Structure 1
Amino acid sequence: MPRVRNPILPGFNADPSILRVGKDYYIATSTFEWYPGVQIHHSTDLANWTLVSRPLNRAAQLDMRGNPDSCGVWAPCLTHDGSEFWLVYSDVKRKDGSFKDSLNYIVHAPTITGPWSDPVFANASGFDPSLFHDPDDGRKWFVNMLWDHRRRAGGPQNRTMFAGIILQEFDPKAGRLVGPRKNIYGGTALALTEGPHLYKRNGVFYLLTAEGGTGYDHAVTLARSTSGSVWGPYEDHPDKYILTSKDHPLTALQRAGHGDIVDVEQPDGSLKPHVVHLCSRPVTQKRRNVLGRETAIQPAHWGDDGWLYLDNGILPSLYVDLPGARDDDPATSAYWQPKTYTWKDADLAAVDYSAINGAVASKLHPDLQWLRLPDPSRLFSIAGGQLVLHGRESIGSWFEQALVARRQTHFSFDAEAVLDDYQPEDERQFAGLTVYYCRYNFFYLTVTAATPEDAGVFPKGDQKPGRELQLLTSEASFPNGTLETPLAPGVPLPATGKVRLAAQVRGGQKLQFLYATEADPELKPVGPVYDASIVSDECGGHPVHGSFTGAFVGMAASDLNGTALDARFDEFVYRPQHDPLDRWLKGAERGREVLTDQDGRAVGVVGAHRIQVGLGNVVGGRHKADTQRLAALAERLRLRLLALAQLVPQLRLDQAGHHGVDAHLLVRAARRALGQLDGQALGQVDDAGIERAAQHGAGARAQGRGAGRERQGAAGADDVVLDENLADDNAAPELDAEQVLGVVQVGVGQGAADDLVDGREDDVVHGRQGLQGGREGGLVADVGDDAGRGHGGRAADLNDRLAEPPDGVGDALLRRRHNGDVRADGNKRLGGAEADAVAKVVQVGQVVPVGAHGARNSPRRAANDDNLLADELVCVAHGETCGAGVW
């Protein structure tokens, strides 16, 4: 089947609920405060999706006036009972503090495009509701998480508020929940259990949930009831989580969680389960997610034990095989084509988007949305070939603000809006172009009236002031919502005429505004270069990951005088761009060191700003000694990975040129190849081995067999046991050396890097004794204390046990590479083939410096660059980074 890169729904498309009806697939996602509510996309091949419906598009179904940012529609569930579609959803009125005020409703429709019924109120006991139709007896069951507002003793208070998953029967004839209500599942120790979905297979009930919160600890868990009763009891999956990236900060798809299961029809007519889930792709070393939470998909299978497993392991795969192909060519792909939105009568004559935007906004393009208000006529209209915004309350108002915008779906793009002869009376009227996340977090380039002191003119009588450009910014200003006006004075504009306003965003990191006038049509920069990563979930207000949407760009108009002054827009343009700051472009263009082969092709990248103890503790030199030690260790890792890559040339790349395997499968493939070189298979790494190692703790013995010799060494709490009795090589992927390097770096290498990136400050303090750089057989062993505290205890001692070439090739390479000697004699003479491999590695491993890595971050970081822990390990395969994001 064709290979497709995740996410399948890029940009803000969170909490996916998937459904198959015949040959058609539908995904419903959350919209929060954006109107209309719930997005439903359609596909026949899982690769190419089209927005076909926003069901909640009238006041009877949804009125969000007054809803705070990131409240509104949470986690819809879309199902079909054999005769009609059902949609359940939460309208959350409050999310901070101890209360949630979550109202849960049910609507239904004969077709996916409607008409959708008025809602039936279900309950208000929690959020993330779901409706399950029992295929055997036809009964309908309503599940949701239970929110307990009380602060009870015992455990962190925020976790006690997530009080489990409750179940109650729904009677469609009575239009209400009936019968007893029972708490059927309390979740795992990860807690924050939410997002429930029920399924039934072979008489067994399965309960899929999300846990860990929707940040970097997110996960998908699975439980089942084998009693034959939907009431349980429910037992946990043997692996606890079936999907998570919480322990692997180098994985491309972060924050993976909140999933749903669908059976996908195969070419032979059989059905194969797949899991859709939300994920994020962070930018900058601050791990900010400007595109919000996106939708990805993973193939799965039912094991002989009756449990569901992802085909590629617990980590979300960047590349998956799907029934359909997707055109990702920038020259032809719909995703990469520019969009120009106009409102000329001739263009709109045959347009009817009422199934998406409702009757009043039936001419508004589906890409565009507004905020909270069920009656869009108070905010905008289409007249005279223009989009007319009726100036309302201030940008960020939770009631009425005239803002029409689209999702940012690319890390780099240009946006432009042409504002036609806007004539403000004073500085309280302004309109323009905004890059927007929420009331605490936006950038707004406006046309407004020049104040007398700015214009240098004091109007007399009814004389109007001139016009000027002014920037209004609110940069992560929670809780005060402080506004900044950096242009002092504003930029003078002609008294009349059109103004073209533009924004250039690059890599989700840099934002530059520009403008042009009819008299001077060339775009010119205005204002400073802003940090575009500010418009992200992490900076939207409240604690980290307390905001749930994504960045938008669009048009806005404000009239603080209350007179609803119109702002007329001729057009709005969104133009995707490729830029060196993009996470998927060549590392050479991003100020890093690039590893090249003999032909100059990039095979890997080494940066110097990823691995940081305690998320920044090293800045300022607080851990300078450890910094230097770990920098040396990173160099050892880089050379060993090169050696591994070149020693497995027989591993072949698949036709698509990519392979989205997880660490387990990669290790299995690499070790099988190394075993062939040694003349004996080394065996398989599996979860049982990992579990045994964890049980044995620091005293565990890591055993493996290679070339007839047994290697031993101390293993940390999360180390992997190499057991020669686990020799099953089934499903080992076929990769070439280049890809092995990349996935080892992004997969196996994660074990050593996890805690250096994700480590908590106290864990680093407790774990300093674990940073034993010179220890034979250890990469970065036992980061964290001996008991493996929290994140600080998760570091696999993988250097010699997984990633070392056989017969001392790695050590010989290290010694000779540092001495500038390409001979490979080391402690022992290597065979001819091994010596050739070492020489090849030395030749291939030449490092090409392409720029100072620290200077581009900030003056402070540049000044303390020697205190940064090296190295970021990212593979560049076919000109793209293979899995890790730009931090």
Structure 2
Amino acid sequence: MNQMIVNPVLTGFHPDPSFIRVGDDYYIATSTFEWFPGVVIHHSKDLIHWHSISRVLTEASQVDLRGNVSSGSIWAPALSYDQGVFYLLYTDVKSRKSVYKDLHNYLIMATDIRGPWSQPVRLNGSGFDPFLFHDKNGTKWLLNMRWDFRKNHSNFSGIIMQEYDQESGKLTGSIHEIYKGTPIGVTEGPQLYQKDGYYYLLTAEGGTGINHMVTMARSHSITGPYETDPDYPIMTTAHDLNYPFQQAGHGSLVETQSGEWYMAHLCTRPIPGTATMNPLGRETAIQRCEWTENGWLRLAHDGKLPALETEAPELPICIFEELPEKDDFDGEMLGFPYQSLRVPFDESWVSLKERPGFLCLRGRESLASLHDQSLIARPIQHFECTATTCLEFKPDSFMQMAGLVLYYDDSDYYYLRVTADEIRGTSLGVVLCKGGNYDEISSMQLSVENWERYYLKVEIHEREFIFYASPDGVGWTAVCTPLDFGTLSDEYGGKLGFTGSFVGLCAQDLDQQAKRAYFDFFEYKALVKP
């Protein structure tokens, strides 16, 4: 029996997988939304073991995210390969909470998956989820869903297609509406494949919440008409809200070296007992698929629910070294797994050189800012985990803060911070924001005037977490009662976000004096792995 692919293969915030094979190498690109650098590339040789090898959008000259709304920015990258060139399409979503979206669809290219990538070329703005199809006849086509803002119209008005001229780097010719979708609606995420004389159109439908699903249609002509699979959808969890995986959809296909087919897709793992409390965010799973005699795609294990485990192809096993749990900040630059909000790492606000062995953050704007935050963080990937740091920081007033943060977005976060208090002097406590409502846990605030260092820790146990503090890293004091990890979920409070929760380090100086905070280390430790 072959080895098994254990899902999800990419845990934590890794949504919207775009899946390709180049020779013996498999790659998945995932969305990053407002987190910078933009678009993560993951690599595997066996579909079982994966590691992150590069980030695509690393410079401010490539993309400007400052001011973009939370869960906007970089949506649904589409990775493809043709004749020695990697192509990557992505959407920069400038607004998303009104009837308009203000969508910028870009194309970049590279001859090496690790870059360097070309400067982005803007192609259109009619919708999101762009995909570049390389026809065997040599033509190239841009597909995307079309956004319709008009009253009494479906916002998801169908899948459109236009030819892309490689020589001029522009779209050319007529726009073709090729697929309206099924009665389920919310048709998006188009992916196009050629097989056995057909063009197969894979789409996501039902919205990216609990009704998410994967559907397929086909045509002998690239511009249609497209016939919907009579037994749609291929995969969904909408009919079983108690299943361990939820929101399964946004599929992407590859064919292995030996002709087997696999689909990468996003899913969530809600906190047990809930269907929508998913603080780990949208993750990536892989399913083995088969084609029927009638030429339609099915999950290999039968049924429509995604498998928790699926049979792997017969490929040589390739295991990659895992990232260390503890970072002593002895390197020359920040790499995986850290990300920042909307802006790249820059010596003007984050440095490993100013004080060797320490991460230096210069305080900037508040955690509510959509512009210039001094925050580095990593996705939370486990329901049982701890994160610990050691901080050296001497604030002059309540305008200056630094510490350890659990962050979803500018409206939802929990922050264990050191600041200055007129009564206690230097103090340490928890502030939080839930659904945009700010609060402070003042009853458990500590006076730490005589502490030379501040050891800060958070322990997460499924739905609950607690912050702790210590002057020496040995004797720990709880700085809050158990708090609800579920509030850092994509669907908490009725909102629809896409990023999952992060844990990280940050500093603020609301007086704009760039007060420095020094972090000696950062440790993230999984207590129970999937």
TM-score, normalised relative to structure 2: 0.96
Matched, 1:323 2:313: yes
> How much has 1:324 moved relative to structure 2?
7.0
Find the counterpart in structure 2 of residue 425 from structure 1. 396
- Quote the Cα distance in structure 2 between the aligned partners of 1:323 and 1:200: 21
Matched residues in 2 for 1:551 and 1:489: separation? Answer: 24
Q: In the alignment, what sits opposite 2:62?
A: 61
**1:96 equivalenced with 2:97 (yes/no):** yes
In the alignment, the residues of structure 1 paired with residue 209 and residue 104 of structure 2 have an alpha-carbon distance, to the nearest angstrom, of 24
Distance 2:316 2:83 in 1: 30
The within-5 A match list for 1:483-562 is 483-488=438-443, 490-507=445-462, 509-518=463-472, 521-539=474-492, 543-544=494-495, 546-562=496-512
Deviation at 1:80, TM superposition (A): 0.2
CA distance in 1, matches of 2:203, 2:449: 58
**Cα distance in 2, alignment partners of residues 47 and 364 from structure 1:** 27
Gaps of 5+ in 1: 350-362, 456-465, 585-887
Task: Please list, as runs of the form range in 1=range in 2, the aligned pairs for 1:103-118 lying within 5 A after superposition.
Answer: 103-118=104-119
| Matching of residues 863-882 of structure 1 within 5 Å | none
1:484 is paired with a residue whose SS is strand
The answer to whether 1:216 aligns with 2:210 is yes
The residue number in structure 1 matching 2:235 is 243
Contact map agreement 1:60 1:119 (CA 8 A) in 2: no
Answer whether contact 1:47 1:324 (CA < 8 A) is retained.
no
Q: Deviations over 1:456-486 (max 9, x none)?
A: xxxxxxxxxx2110211012x2xxx221011
SS in 1 for 2:118: coil
Contact 2:49 2:320 in 1 (8 A): no
Instruction: Choose which of 172, 179, 188 in structure 2 pairs with 1:194.
Output: 188
Distance 1:325 1:473 in 2: 48
Question: Cα deviation per residue 1:747-800 (whole Å; 9 max; x = unaligned)?
Answer: xxxxxxxxxxxxxxxxxxxxxxxxxxxxxxxxxxxxxxxxxxxxxxxxxxxxxx
Q: Is the aligned partner of 1:307 residue 2:296?
A: yes
Cα displacement (A) at 1:284: 4.3
Match of 2:521 in 1: 571
- 8 Å CA contact 1:46–1:324 kept in 2: the answer is no
Distance 2:200 2:395 in 1: 60
Deviation of residue 286 (structure 1)? 3.5
Kept in 2, the 8 Å contact 1:71–1:92? The answer is yes
User: 2:72 corresponds to which residue?
Assistant: 71
| Range that drifts further, 486-495 or 96-105 | 486-495
3-state SS of 2:160 partner:
strand
Equivalence for 1:233: 225
Measure the CA separation in 2 of the matches of 1:286 and 1:532. 13
1:835 aligned residue: none
SS in structure 1 of the partner of residue 234 of structure 2: strand
TM-score by length of 1: 0.58
Task: Give yes or no for the alignment of 1:388 onto 2:360.
Answer: yes
1:129-168 alignment runs, 5 A limit = 129-135=130-136, 137-152=137-152, 160-168=154-162
- Taking the aligned partners of 2:96 and 2:315, their CA distance within structure 1 comes to 40
SS of match in other structure, 1:486 = strand
How far apart, CA to CA, are the structure 2 residues paired with 1:254 and 1:338? 30
Give the whole-Å Cα distance in 1 for the aligned partners of 2:63 and 2:481. Answer: 40
* Deviation digits for residues 592-635 of structure 1 (CA, Å, limit 9, x no counterpart): xxxxxxxxxxxxxxxxxxxxxxxxxxxxxxxxxxxxxxxxxxxx
- Distance in 2, matches of 1:198 and 1:426, equals 57
- 1:474 matched to 2:424? The reply is no
Q: Residue 434 in 1 paired to residue 434 in 2?
A: no
CA distance in 1 between partners of 2:344 and 2:474 (Å): 38
State whether residues 451 and 471 of structure 2, in contact with CA within 8 Å, keep that contact through their aligned partners in structure 1. Answer: no
Residue 481 of structure 2: SS of its match in structure 1?
strand
Say which of 346, 363, 372 aligns to 1:376. 346
The DSSP-based 3-state class of the residue aligned with 1:534 is helix
RCO higher in structure (CA 8 A, sep ≥6): 2
CA distance in 2, matches of 1:375, 1:523: 32
Identity %: 42
Alpha-carbon offset, residue 50 of structure 1: 1.1
Q: Aligned equivalents of 2:33 and 2:261: distance in 1?
A: 29
Q: Indicate the structure (1 or 2) with the bigger Cα radius of gyration.
A: 1
CA deviation profile, 1:392-436 (whole Å, cap 9, x unmatched): 10013110111101110111101001102x011100100000011
Residue 253 of structure 1 corresponds to which residue in structure 2?
Answer: 245
**How far is 1:34 from its partner?**
0.3
**1:174 has 2:160 as partner:** no
CA distance, structure 2, for counterparts of residue 404 and residue 555 of structure 1: 6
Query: Using the alignment, how far apart are the partners of 2:314 and 2:252 within structure 1?
Result: 20
Which amino acid counterpart does residue 172 of structure 2 have in structure 1?
A: V
CA–CA separation in structure 2 for the residues paired with 1:93 and 1:215: 22
Of residues 259, 262, 269, the one that matches 1:274 is 262
Q: How does 1:404-803 map to 2 (within 5 A)?
A: 404-420=376-392, 422-451=393-422, 454-455=423-424, 466-475=425-434, 477=435, 481-488=436-443, 490-507=445-462, 509-518=463-472, 521-539=474-492, 543-544=494-495, 546-578=496-528
Which residue is equivalent to 1:719? Answer: none
Q: Report the Cα offset of residue 333 of structure 1.
A: 10
Q: Does 1:263 align with 2:255?
A: yes
Q: Post-superposition shift, 1:20?
A: 0.2
Task: Answer yes or no: is the 8 Å Cα contact 1:62–1:374 preserved in 2.
Answer: no
Unpaired segments ≥5 residues, structure 2:
none
User: Which secondary structure does the structure 2 equivalent of 1:500 belong to?
Assistant: strand
The answer as to 2:391 corresponding to 1:397 is: no
Q: Alignment partner of 1:256: what SS?
A: strand
Deviation string for 1:124-154 (max 9, x for gaps)?
Answer: 111010000012x1111000000001112xx
Q: Which has the higher helix share?
A: 1
- Higher share in strand: 2
Alignment correspondent of 1:757: none
What is aligned with 1:845? none
C-alpha distance in 1 between matches for 2:240 and 2:390 = 44
